[in-house]
Amino acid sequence: MATGRRKVTVIGAGNVGATAAQRLAERDYADVVLVDVVDGLAEGKALDLNETGPVVGYEATVTGSTNDYSLTAGSDVIVVTSGLARKPGMSRDDLLLKNQEIVGSVVRAAAEQSPDAIFVIVSNPLDAMCHVALSASGFPSERVVGMAGVLDSARFRTFIAWELGVSVRDVTGFVLGGHGDTMVPVASNTTVSGIPVTELIPEDRLEQIIQRARDGGAEVVKLLKTGSAYYAPSAAAVEMVDSIILDQKRVLPAAAYLTGEYGFDGIYLGVPVTLGAKGVEKIHEISLTDTEKAQLASSADAVRELVDVMATKA
């Protein structure tokens, strides 16, 4: 590793992890360590990425490792993508207990090597895996955050932009709650260059778009047939890493540990946060309609159910 550079570790060298490593290398603000349990997988992809540097023009060193966490020591940010991917017909909840074991194991190993790092959790079921990572790391909750809202919001914003024939850059909106079927696209806080989307799209059509956003991951899985989305998930995770490493203090929807905000306590849930060098630096409470409040409560109940299942099976 070159000296004096930041370090970002990506655990899991599958499609999401490897694509995240590529995006990070191309950012050129940190060296990257890619870790995987499959012998040679991370090393092979790391070598390929290093040989890309002269063409694309980045100096970042990418190091691959088969379960040697000593190479991750001193990481600033650790992105966890480990776990089994969904298959057609499989819900995120089916993955719960299998991925609980995997995520707990890798987080413990990485936290030991990088006690000051910030974890960005991508593994599914997302909100439940944040609880696993919080427990396994022993870190304060502001340094364990989940990537879901950025991805879900990107899907929501894409569909709105397509509907209106406008630039996706001018669509601002949040998707809150758990990552899955109970997510809450917040139409009341969604705008196009400041114009409320509720003034631009009829209510019945907007509800169809909201439902498509909820089903966004499943729609990709169904089309791919073998695998799940990775371009958008990796981009969303790296946007969060950008905000942390560069201390951008972006306000992004992310799975954060709530201690009374929105009326919930002791649970990870997708909410708008300020993300900076210290991790989750502030949780923002925004006004919601009564319907959105009820949906958020249902989403929280779904997350608690998963957490309770893990607790009873532990």
57 located within any domain: yes
Structural domain boundaries enclosing 101: 6-146
Pairing between β-strand 77-80 and β-strand 118-121 as defined by DSSP bridges: parallel
CATH no. for residue 73? 3.40.50.720
CATH no. for residue 253? 3.90.110.10
Q: Which helix (H) or strand (E) is 241 found in, with range?
A: helix 231-245
108 and 157 both lie in a single domain: no
166 and 71 both lie in a single domain: no
Task: State how far the Cα of 59 lies from the Cα of 77, in Å rounded to an integer.
Answer: 19
171 and 142 both lie in a single domain: no
Domain count, the chain: 2
126 and 222 both lie in a single domain: no
140 and 199 both lie in a single domain: no
CB 81 within 8 A of CB 102: no
Residues tagged active-site: 179
1 located within any domain: no
Q: What is the number of alpha carbons within 13 Å of residue 213 lying toward its C-beta?
A: 33
Q: What is the pLDDT along the chain (314 residues), one digit of tens a residue?
A: 445 799 999 999 999 999 999 999 999 999 999 999 999 999 999 999 999 999 999 999 999 999 999 999 999 999 999 998 666 676 666 678 889 999 999 999 999 999 999 999 999 999 999 999 999 999 999 999 999 999 999 999 999 999 999 999 999 999 999 998 899 999 999 999 999 999 999 999 999 999 999 999 999 999 999 888 999 999 999 999 999 999 999 999 999 999 999 999 999 999 999 999 999 999 999 999 999 999 999 999 999 999 999 998 76
301 and 176 both lie in a single domain: yes
268 and 174 both lie in a single domain: yes
Domain boundary among 146, 171, 192: 146
Task: State how far the Cα of 108 lies from the Cα of 272, in Å rounded to an integer.
Answer: 27
